[in-house]
Chains A and B, each alone.
Chain A
Amino acid sequence: MLRKKSAKPVRISLMSPKVLEVKSLSKIFDGGFSLKKMKRNEPTVAVDKISFNIRKGEIVGLLGPNGAGKTTTIQMLLGTTSKTSGRIKYFGKDFDRHHSESLQRVNYASAYTRLPWRMTVRENLMVYAKMYQVAKPKERIETVLELFRMSKYIDKSFGMLSSGQITRVMLAKAMINFPALLLLDEPTASLDPEIATKVRQFLLKQREKYNVSMLFTSHNMSEVTELCDRVVFLRSGRIVAEDTPRGLAKRIQICTVRYVVDGKETAVKVKEKEIAAFLNKLSQEKIKYSEISIDKPTLEDFFLSNSYE
């Protein structure tokens, strides 16, 4: 078992089939020719030989600071950015040789893409239902819009929707083909907390009901902790850590002890192993505190201490 996290725990065994295998995937962007310098610019290594897998029903978070290579990785996985080297396999088949077949079972949503704004929500989803050869497309469109409480906007132009509504339509598009694997690039960005919570619940339910696997990028650490079984942490295009959200947080090993003396709060960073000794020291020094709390390290602490070299 890798991890359990949802209303109804989902078993992800090491024997579960791999839906995605990434091996030594690299992307080097050509710097192009500079007319000012009259020479080629230095190439940029965006993704540097990363390898990871996603098993059936697993939710994996792709984390890292801006420019770490998360979006480039997702774009290579979708084939919209060509890889420089490495191998991608979907459902055990090579992506290069089974491009359309692979993408038939995958879908994608991003906070940064849109659909044609003059077309209605229904028309837009109909295009993608046809693209993925969905049986009974009308019924499927109604179902996915209902899932995201967007039914009443079905005949509204895409351009007339609010940013939160747009995000929900993009997620509805991502669900249109009953995907076995969802690639989600910051899908809850621009959603209000209530809708974002509902989206997270929805994603967990999809995993619970249909064993949908997901690769998820987000800058919301509590969201990643709530959703993801495992986190792949990228920095400067390289994987610097891979573990459960709790496992990554534990690597920090530093807690924050907060105590209030005479109404004034003091926060002290203490190594996890030395908390008992610290509390003992407070007692020995006869420090009378009215309140005391210990903040365990979180995924956010790991993110902050590992984002830059």
Chain B
Amino acid sequence: MNKHRIAAIVWRHWYNFKHSLDRMVDAFYWPAMDILLWGITSVYISESGSDVSQIVLLILSGLVLWQVTMRSQYEITINLLEEAWNTNLMNLFASPLTIWEWIVGISILAFIKMVITVVFAGVLVWWLYQLNILNALSWWLLPFMGLLLIFGWALGFLVSGLIFRFGTRIQALAWTIVWIIAPFSAVFYPLQTLPAWAQRVAAFLPTSYIFEGMRAVLLGNRFDLTSLTVSAILTVVYLAAGIVFFLACFNHAKKGGLARVEQ
């Protein structure tokens, strides 16, 4: 054992840590997010006084539906990162491929992979906990999943735009961005559990309406169609904004050369 070589290894990764936003995010973001998300959920469980099986159904349904947004966002972003990691961006965009063709292709892929994940998660919940989410949410599942999917695309294009703008050094956003939104989306607890300021933020997120709707349907309460409409309008606005932002960043990246995105 040589103390200099051991020190060299420590320094090697410390230097890297200083230059890597993603590593810093890992160090602080995840513990904060876990404490926040599961802390609020625990508060809700202790205060609700509801039947345990109902709470399990609510949390598991939230988990499965959250996969829709998470997977669709993740697939769009990670597939762009894959091209950058493989230094394949130049090859792709030096071909007749247009950016709109890439957008449509990658969205279809995100949809397919989201369906695979959600079906798998649904089957797992049914097998392990004997809970049938499909049955519990019935036809509501379609608009819920549709809007969550499109919102995931919007987030995916937002982060992909940032990758084109700032390169792979902000790649951590690919797997962190949805979790910034998760506490405000009230995935595992009702909206009123959140403090007032957070509820105001939640009002601008289409996901908060969906998860409120999900709980209303599962608890047999009335779900207002107006909330679904607001969610749909917000989702379309976010998608349009996400794509516009993505295209602007793509064009900006071309000014510096797409090869630089790969660095």
Q: Which of the residues A29, A75, A81, A113 comes within 8 Å of B88, measured between beta carbons?
A: A113
In chain A between 109 and 148, which residues have their CB closer than 8 angstroms to a CB of chain B? 110, 112-117, 128, 131-132
Which 6 A-B pairs have CB atoms at the shortest separation, nearest pair first? A81-B257, A100-B96, A78-B94, A82-B254, A80-B258, A103-B96
What would be 9 A-B contacts, judged by CB atoms less than 8 Å apart?
A80-B254, A81-B256, A81-B258, A82-B254, A103-B94, A108-B90, A110-B90, A114-B87, A131-B95
Closest to B83 in A: A116
Q: Report if A89 contacts B (CB, 8 A).
A: no
Which residue of the partner chain A has the closest CB to B94?
A78
Chain B stretch 57-90: residues in CB contact (< 8 A) with chain A: 82-83, 86-90
Is B123 among interface residues, defined by CB-CB distance under 8 A? no
Alpha-carbon gap, A98 to B160, bound state (A): 26
Q: B254, A108: Cβ atoms under 8 Å?
A: no
Interface size on B, residues (CB 8 A): 22
Q: B117 CB to closest chain A CB, in angstroms?
A: 20
Bound Cα distance A82, B258 (Å): 9
User: Is there contact, CB below 8 Å, between A108 and B257?
Assistant: no
Whether the pair B87, A80 counts as a contact (CB closer than 8 A) is no
* CB of A79 closer than 8 Å to a CB of B: yes
B221 interfacial contact with A, CB 8 Å: no
Q: CB of A99 within 8 A of chain B?
A: yes
Classify chain A: how many residues form its interface, as a range. Answer: 20 to 34
Q: How far is the CA of A281 from the CA of B222 in the complex (A)?
A: 110
With both beta carbons as reference points, the residue of chain B lying nearest to A176 in the complex is identified as B95
* Cβ contact of A113, chosen from B87, B98, B251, B254, cutoff 8 A: B87
A75: which of B82, B95, B257 is its contact (CB, 8 Å)?
B257
Contact B251 A116 (CB under 8 A): no
Q: Is B97 an interface residue (CB 8 A)?
A: yes
Q: Decide if A115 touches B91 in the complex (CB within 8 Å).
A: yes
- A290 to chain B minimum Cβ distance, whole angstroms, is 54
Check: A173 CB closer than 8 A to any chain B CB.
yes
Determine the distance from Cα of A108 to Cα of B92 in the docked complex, in whole angstroms. 10
A94 nearest CB across to chain B (Å): 16
Contact digits for B243-263, partner A, Cβ 8 Å, 1 yes 0 no? 000000001001111110000
A98 to chain B, nearest CB (A): 10
A295 within 8 A of B: no
Name the A residues within 8 Å of B258 (CB-CB).
75, 80-81
Which B residues are CB-close (under 8 A) to A75?
90, 257-259
Known: A107-B94, A132-B96. 6 other contacts (CB 8 A): A30-B255, A81-B257, A100-B97, A101-B96, A114-B86, A116-B88
Query: Chain A contacts of B91 at CB under 8 A?
Result: 108, 113, 115, 128, 173
Does the CB pair B94–A117 fall under 8 Å? no
B82, B94, B96, B254 interface centre (most CB from chain A within 10 Å)? B94
Asked whether any CB of chain A lies closer than 8 Å to the CB of B120, the reply is: no
Best-buried of B82, B88, B258 by chain A (most CB within 10 Å)? B88
The CA-CA distance from A103 to B89 in the complex, in Å, is 15
Check A104 for interface membership: any CB of B closer than 8 A.
yes
Cβ of B93 within 8 Å of any chain A Cβ, yes or no, is yes
Question: What CA separation (Å) do A30 and B254 show in the bound complex?
Answer: 12
Cα–Cα, bound, A110→B94 (Å): 11
Does A72 sit within 8 A of B, measured CB to CB? yes
CB distance from B120 to the nearest CB of A (A): 22
The 8 Å CB contact of B95, one of A72, A81, A116, A132, is: A132
Q: Give CA–CA (A114, B88) in the complex, Å.
A: 6
Q: Which residues of A contact B86 (CB under 8 A)?
A: 114-117
Task: Digitize A75-97: 1 where CB-to-B-CB distance is under 8 Å, 0 elsewhere.
Answer: 10011111000000000000000
In angstroms, Cα B136 to Cα A215, docked, is: 63
- Does A131 contact B259, Cβ atoms closer than 8 Å? no
**A72: which B residues are within 8 A, CB to CB?**
257
A-chain residues with CB within 8 Å of residue B90 when the two chains form the complex? 75, 78, 80, 108, 110, 113
Q: A78 to B258: give the CA distance in the assembly, Å.
A: 11
Give the distance in Å from the alpha carbon of A128 to the alpha carbon of B97 in the complex.
10
**A100 lies within 8 A of B251 (CB):** no
Q: Which residue of A lies closest to B86 (CB)?
A: A116
